[in-house]
Amino acid sequence: MIQMTLIQIDNYGPWTVTPTPRRESDLQILQAELYADLQRQFAAKQGLVFFMRFDNMLAISNGMDMEDHLRIQESIGNRYPITVSMGVGTAQTPYDAQRKATRALQSHGGAQSEDRKEVLAIDALADDEGFVQIAHIDINGITETLTDTMPAYDTSFVVNRVQHFLMKKLIKKGSLLFFIGGDNFMSPCNGLAPEGLLKIINEIKDEINIALKAGIGKAPTAEKAANLADLALEEIRGGFTYDLVHLMKE
């Protein structure tokens, strides 16, 4: 079972335009600082936050309990002009876990409700049997083929296209996909076999001629799983395995 936390800024839409639209650069700074702040606090508990759309972020939170979540909400509320609500869900696949987390929060009111503030809606927490599986997916040779030869925006467009193809295929397996910078993606993918991911990578090579590789990590927490995924990716880069998908477990 994987545990996921949805973090949503309370009543953010109305706040951004009250009393008049706030300066966009200030909103960008707020969003970036809030993301970094949450990442630091979840990381202290071996969790991992994905910025997603910034006003809604998803975190892998195996090992974190109610108290851990409440402390983070309180700390944000003490220091920011906004507050955050959270929903927590647990399931066999990341897609279902975030679905349950979202539904738990939605049942307490809308994102733009004035009455919903600092809600913590826990559907279920993962137990000791819980684990996290993460794939770190990377484009082969982007520096030579794109970064050093094409206009920056064109490269970014390609990366976005790859993200769209990966999301479309992974969601059918109950897996999620997040852009994490550069040519990198992370996929919380409990329930997806390495062969399943390899098939997706081969399909993308056929469909849009972009070569990918992926390290997969499996461990009790997001931090350890992501670290193992990074190490597995390095094994592929180092030529220690000829496979395009490599799994490392704790």
Task: List interacting residues with Mg ion (CB under 5 A).
Answer: 138-139, 142, 183
Q: How far is the CB of 182 from ligand GTP (least distance, A)?
A: 2
CA distances in angstroms from 124 to 57, 74, 130, 156, listed in the order given: 18, 21, 12, 38
Which residue number, 17 or 152, has a Cβ lying nearer to Mg ion?
A: 152
Residue 14 binds ligand GTP, judged by CB under 6 A: no
Q: With CA atoms as reference, report the closest residue to 9 among 101, 124, 105, 125.
A: 105
Residue 180 binds ligand GTP, judged by CB under 6 A: yes
Beta strands in the chain (DSSP E): 2-9, 48-50, 56-60, 84-91, 120-122, 132-139, 178-181, 184-188, 212-219, 245-249
Q: Which residue has the tokens 């990590």?
A: 217
Q: How far is the CB of 102 from ligand GTP (least distance, A)?
A: 25
Element (DSSP H or E) covering residue 76: helix 66-79
161 binds, among Mg ion, ligand GTP, none (CB under 5 to 8 A by kind): none
Q: With CA atoms as reference, report the closest residue to 201 among 234, 236, 248.
A: 236
Which residue number, 123 or 138, has a Cβ lying nearer to ligand GTP?
A: 138
Q: How far is the CB of 199 from Mg ion (least distance, A)?
A: 20
Looking at residue 17, its amino acid is: V
Stretch that binds ligand GTP, among 60-68, 124-132, 141-149, 238-246 (CB under 6 A): 141-149
Q: Which of 16, 39, 140, 202 binds ligand GTP (CB under 6 A)?
A: 140
- Scored b (16 or more CB within 10 A) or e, 136-174 reads bbbbeebeeebeeeeeeeebeebbeebeebbbebbeebb
Q: How far is the CB of 114 from Mg ion (least distance, A)?
A: 46
Q: Which of 58, 142, 159, 210 binds ligand GTP (CB under 6 A)?
A: 142
Taking CB under 6 A as the criterion, which residues in 181-200 touch ligand GTP?
Answer: 181-184
The DSSP call for residue 147 is I
Stretch that binds ligand GTP, among 6-14, 69-77, 80-88, 142-150 (CB under 6 A): 142-150
* Residue with the shortest CB distance to ligand GTP: 182
Residues that bind ligand GTP (CB under 6 A): 138-144, 180-184, 230, 237
